[in-house]
Amino acid sequence: MARLLNRLSPKFIENIEKPGRYADGGGLYLQVSPCRNGDVSKAWLFRYMRGHLTRTGRPTSREMGLGPLSTNKRDGFLTIKEARDRAYRARENLKAGIDPIEARRALKLAKRVEDAKAVTFRQCAAEYIESQKAAWKGEKHVKLWANSLKRYVDPVFGGLPVAAVDTALVLKALRPVWETKTQSAAKLRMRIELILNWATTHGYREGDNPARWRGHLKNVLPNPGKVTKVKHLAAMPYDELPAFMVELRQLDTTAARALEWTILSVVRSDNTFALTWDSGELDLEKKFGPFRLLG
């Protein structure tokens, strides 16, 4: 009686160079294919009958690639034993009424889901900022986003899987500053919401956004517009500025130089606070205009 399984000897598998398919038994085949450089490639595949009947009344033939042949246990390559083990598992699936290809797809999908669950909110925030910064108004906007998230969100749930972020965690980050720094907190809520939307679109989380305002956080947090009114500081009359600058230059402090810089360069205070020597905004060689202050 002819042997039904393990028909191919290790020597035959190693030496065969003629393109074609060679049955090892039980639906397992060694496929030898020609390469452009004149060599051949060898790979394992599993062939089985499954699904709808053809016009001849026979089941449809399906083929599942198992992986390339390995004779030296290279990563991603299959030895003879490994290929036969995979073919055996495929046959067991068929006996149980499970299509091996569909089973493999389900496993891959499950792995992607598990991998997605491991992605942290911090990672999503960084990727969101990177994807959006080209449309923002310079590096300042990027720093505002990054700094607010680092200060208020990171300590609460920055390192947690983004899939695990819920309403309780969002409130835990917002409540300490909602009534004391209301405008900043409102912007922070919006940033969290946008990042979570981005994560949902990329398949890293599911369900409603716990940071959404309408119909959700609006029910538990006071309206930002009613908590505190924005009070703008009065501006100095421009005709008083020369005398003020004389007094300011008599103060030998870092704060005085920073204020003088802010006035002369006509930038917002945020730009002054975030300014560093390597920021690219200082030209020490030309020293034009307000840069003369730097000596």
In angstroms, what CA-CA distances link 194 with 71, 152, 155, 176, 199? 51, 16, 19, 21, 9
Q: Which CATH architecture has domain 121-227?
A: Orthogonal Bundle (1.10)
| pLDDT tens per residue across span 163-218 | 899 999 999 999 999 988 998 999 999 999 999 999 999 988 889 999 999 999 99
Going by their DSSP bridges, the two strands 40-53 and 28-34 should be labelled as: antiparallel
- Virtual CA dihedral for 266, 269, 273, 277, nearest 10 degrees? -10
Residue with tokens 């290790």: 10
Question: How high is the mean pLDDT of the chain?
Answer: 84
- Please state the domain extents for the chain: 10-50+59-116, 121-227, 238-294
The pLDDT value recorded for residue 226 is 79
The whole-model pTM stands at 0.50
| 122 has a pLDDT exceeding 70 | yes
* Long-range Cβ pairs for the range 223-227 (8 Å, 24+): 224/178, 224/182, 224/183, 224/185, 224/186, 227/178, 227/179, 227/182
Residue with tokens 């003088």: 260
Range scoring the smallest mean pLDDT among 84-93, 101-110, 166-175, 194-203: 101-110
pLDDT band at 291 (very low <50, low <70, confident <90, very high): very low
Contact (Cβ atoms closer than 8 angstroms) between residue 80 and residue 13: yes
Residues 85-103 have a mean pLDDT of 88
**Tokens of residue 285, six digits:** 């060689």
Q: How far apart are CA 174 and CA 180, in angstroms?
A: 11
| 93 has a pLDDT exceeding 90 | no
Q: How far apart are CA 269 and CA 255, in angstroms?
A: 12
